Amino acid sequence: MSGFSSSSVAGRDIVALEGVTKRFPGIVANDSVDLSIRPGEVHVLLGENGAGKSTLIGMLSGLQQPDEGRILVDGKPTPITSPRHALTLGIGTVFQHMMLVPTLTVAENLLLGGPWWQRPRTEELAARVAEITGTLGITVKLQAKVSELSLGEQQQVEILRAMLRNSRLLILDESTSMLTPKGIDELGALMRRLVEQGLAIVFITHKLKEAAAFGDRISVLKLGRKVGEIPPERFRALGEQEIVSEIVELMFGKQKDDPEAVERR
């Protein structure tokens, strides 16, 4: 899995990683990782704690720079130099921990970060929100305080914020970890509608079942290395149980492990 892959030459990737390595003192967090991110796909990044998932996302969202390798955006080598730069490239990230201000309303949160010299364009915001939520089939209470929303609703606000910033690639880091089972199902349905509209999604999880249920493509990370990938063609050919077994094999080697037991680790 090392070196420069040919997958990114196909021209369909909006973002690609080629041989990306990131080191921290005493550890190689990402070891020559290749990744192909395409519109219309939920690309699941799957791996146990410490596999290097968040580090990879840090580089895609401009928080950190690779030590080796490169990132291509629309086929062109593009260093992503800051979080703001990532946003201008159309890369929006919903981080593991909510980033909204709980004491402000949803509308106020969505207007944060706008140009300081302009009066907040509340009506324009309402119109754009209505358009986006309409096509996505969600409702967002603009005047509610964020602290009054469920975690699932807060996450929808964060996704909405990314859409308002014209994201073409939406990254969700461990987004289901704090959600109820109902919230998880709703997020799965929302991701499906987003990719149907041509968005690319990178969905990070350590849960096998979520990966199998929500993904179109899965990359499996283990101790910083990419140990395998299940591409969409293969995904479509397999049932959910077969996908889970294949992932278990990639993550833990050939063994007759009970996926339920693995899930609980």
Ligand X SMILES: Nc1ncnc2c1ncn2[C@@H]1O[C@H](COP(=O)(O)OP(=O)(O)O)[C@@H](O)[C@H]1O
Task: Give the binding site for Mg ion (CB under 5 A).
Answer: 53-54
Minimum separation from the CB atom of position 64 to ligand X (A): 8
Q: How far apart are CA 254 and CA 252, in angstroms?
A: 7
Q: How far apart are CA 49 and CA 7, in angstroms?
A: 27
Minimum separation from the CB atom of position 147 to ligand X (A): 27
Q: How far apart are CA 40 and CA 262, in angstroms?
A: 30
Minimum separation from the CB atom of position 187 to ligand X (A): 18
DSSP 8-class letter at 38: -
Minimum separation from the CB atom of position 21 to ligand X (A): 12
Q: Is 116 exposed, middle or buried (0-12, 13-18, 19+ CB in 10 A)?
A: exposed
Q: Considering CB distances under 5 to 8 angstroms, the limit depending on partner class, which of ligand X, Mg ion, none binds residue 33?
A: none
CA torsion, ordered 104, 110, 114, 117, to nearest 10 deg: -50
Q: Considering CB distances under 5 to 8 angstroms, the limit depending on partner class, which of ligand X, Mg ion, none binds residue 27?
A: ligand X
97 binds ligand X (CB under 6 A): no
Contact 179, 152 (CB under 8 A): yes
Could you tell me what percentage of the chain is helix, strand and coil, using 3-state DSSP and rounding each to the nearest 5?
40, 25, 35
Minimum separation from the CB atom of position 59 to ligand X (A): 10
- Identify any residues that bridge with 27 across adjacent strands, giving them in sequence order: 24
Q: Considering CB distances under 5 to 8 angstroms, the limit depending on partner class, which of Mg ion, ligand X, none binds residue 14?
A: none
Residue 60 or 146 with smaller CB distance to Mg ion? 60
Contact 211, 229 (CB under 8 A): no
Residue 54 or 219 with smaller CB distance to ligand X? 54
Half-sphere exposure of 222 (CA within 13 A, CB side): 12
Site string for ligand X, 105-144 (x = CB under 6 A): ----------------------------------------
The residues in 34-93 that bind ligand X, with binding defined as CB under 6 A, are: 47, 49-55
Q: Which of 9, 10, 24, 198 binds ligand X (CB under 6 A)?
A: 24
Judged by the rule CB under 6 A, the positions of this chain that interact with ligand X are 24, 27, 29, 47, 49-55
